[in-house]
Structure 1
């Protein structure tokens, strides 16, 4: 199963771009600023969430000049197996509501969350290189995006939890009656238990996949899920009720999955990933991405987006990366400024030369 007949209209610097005759390996080659990453971002929006750049929807539509009124954009792709189209999925905006994202599946209106039922997406970008030294919130978002591979409705649960937490915060601030807090805390506890369960399952399954992968040439990370509070619904509900004065003073809930942490250490040395070298951190991030790709490819079509990954690997790691990707079920999209790093897979890849918001098949 693979993405085919990919089309972009008025997206970033792409006025009208079509990518057809895709393959297992798909290469987007061009100078910096040509629009390669914009293509990957478009593909990343064929799943729930804000895509690999987490951009505002109003910033995605192409504008003829600065200050122009909002425009609309559209991204579409077919899911095909053995040359037969099984579904057409797409996302778009409308000029009169540039901040609202719309979705269609097989021509019918759908939700962004439902896209995860059709396609599993994973990606690795240069912006993620600082994940291990970033905030705990960044790592939670990383985990939640990966969790869609095993629980397509996880994004809906996380959103519902965030909404309930904001409502609890408002009630605490206004010193609402206890019965109102009881009701909203029951919602928080219910959503929290579901979110925590999926996060814990994902990390456990990733750890299993990582243990089965060779430890060389990519450093093998060891993952641990650290919950930010009770994961049992009843226990968390009691904790929230008990800690109302503390949380009112803090202005936020100090217990629950909004405080979860993903702990990553290098398996061979037990050194925290945040203390490892830049090269070691990159190698561990690639290992996690590959392990997640294995999980994501089980059960539905899977796409792996790798932005500028090959150019920053030595020949040994690059060869091993291509070998593992070749063995995997996920369709792979990679970007680079030149073809040289991809010489080992050039004959089996679909290649496009990207320039000025246009893509030409090589």
Structure 2
């Protein structure tokens, strides 16, 4: 199962057909020089996948590879050049990496390739490229039209305690699963925000530059804020129902622009944001930050069963709340898009009691969601016996369990 390195980006679908597919399932994945994988080809069925192995074997690396099948920076938010395979001494042994996958979707079989492409000319920068069914895509945002993925990692256990930036990033992944264009709006807004901040830091006072950047921020900022508002409104209704023994949750957006979105027409919000940005140039230059915009928003979450803000719950209560929101979102995506998202659940079973583990597994099976789960103890996944694929991971190799 570990062939010599291949050009995964040039790969086209040849995965053998099997049982009736889940509504969204990875049927084959190929990695080239990705983290600790020199070359990997893994064929699998549509059922949930359990990856078992020691810490450091490469389980999370495989989940990270799958997270690149949708827009964004992957579940680790790593720089592209950090992902290339490295030797024991941490020195890169490759300059590029690639992920290719065959997916069964509600619209049929699809081949996706993505990876780091070398610079085209001297002094240039390597860039991420995407191919869908062998054809180049204009940008990675095109991936969101075909597939959605949501992940939970141990790092997200602090989601309700960390700063609002982490919650915005988590929310934006949920939003993109329902509004594929959202990833493009976020990228365009953040790029304009960075350029405006740089001009302010340089002392530039050219109004033409600022007007153009602030227009971009207003258009894309209002679009992304509106998509967040729609997703949170719908997810709040779903999360209030709860999932089995997991707690019920309420969600709301908190921020100045979010208040405008709730009470004004979108074009009026754009005009107001443009005006606020223009009026705040001197203040923002002195403060070293842009004081108004959807980058200042936060996601407010409440544990309804305890009537507490999520941040005030215990570690276990926060974990259960996060799982509950994620599964409510998966239900919502399945209803809205006609197929559930891929669920990438890293070390998900370790901190759930037996009742909640069993309930989570039943929910995954009922959704017909292909969930990729990792753990060091195969026994924790016993309730999935006969309903999931167990794979053993060791030093960048994978074998059936």
What TM-score range do you get, normalising by the shorter chain? over 0.9
Q: Which moved more, 1:342-351 or 1:161-170?
A: 161-170
Asked if residue 204 in structure 1 is aligned to residue 243 in structure 2, the reply is: no
* Offset, 1:356: 0.8
Q: TM-score, normalization: structure 2?
A: 0.85
Deviation at 1:330, TM superposition (A): 2.2
Give the ranges of 4+ consecutive aligned residues of structure 1 lying more than 6 Å apart after TM superposition: none
SS at match of 1:203: helix
Residue 122 of structure 1 contacts residue 292 of structure 1 at CA under 8 Å; is this kept in 2?
no
Distance 1:187 1:166 in 2: 12
| Aligned match for 1:79, one of 90, 95, 103 | 103
Alignment RMSD: 2.0
2:313 to 276, 294, 301: 276
Q: For 1:191, which of 220, 231, 252 is the aligned residue? A: 220
In structure 2, what is the equivalent of residue 249 of structure 1?
A: 286
User: C-alpha distance in 2, partners of 1:119/1:308?
Assistant: 23
Alignment of 1:347-358 (within 5 A): 347-358=386-397
Q: 1:68: Cα distance to partner?
A: 4.3
8 Å Cα contact 2:152-2:346 kept in structure 1: yes
Alignment CA distance shift 1:275-1:283 (3 Å): same
For residues 10-40 of structure 1, the C-alpha deviation after alignment (integer angstroms, 9 at most, x for no partner) is: 2111122222132321111111111111111
- The verdict on how the C-alpha distance between 1:68 and 1:184 changes in structure 2, with shifts beyond 3 A counting, is closer
User: Matches of residues 87-236 of structure 1 in structure 2 within 5 Å?
Assistant: 87-94=110-117, 99-110=126-137, 111-173=139-201, 174-214=203-243, 217-229=245-257, 230-231=260-261, 232-236=269-273
Distance of 1:166 and 1:305 partners within structure 2? 31
1:304 aligns with 2:343: yes
Counterpart secondary structure, 1:207: helix
Separation of aligned partners in 2, 1:33 and 1:170? 39
Q: Distance in 2 between matches of 1:167 and 1:6?
A: 37
Specify the alignment match of 2:17 in structure 1.
none
Q: Could you say what secondary structure the match of 1:235 adopts?
A: helix
| Greater share of residues in strand | 1
Shift of 1:186: 2.1
Runs of at least 5 residues in structure 2 that lack an aligned partner in the other structure: 1-22, 262-268
Matched with 1:359 is 398
Within the candidate set 61, 67, 81, 1:44 is matched to: 67
Cα distance change of structure 1 residues 245 and 21 upon mapping to structure 2, 3 Å threshold: closer
TM-score when normalising by structure 1: 0.93
Aligned counterpart in structure 1 of residue 325 of structure 2, from 279, 282, 288:
288
Between the two proteins, the alignment pairs up a number of residues equal to 360
| Cα deviation digits, residues 225-282 of structure 1 (max 9, x gap) | 1124344111212222232332221122111101001011111233111111000000
- Equivalences for residues 304-343 of structure 1 within 5 A: 304-343=343-382
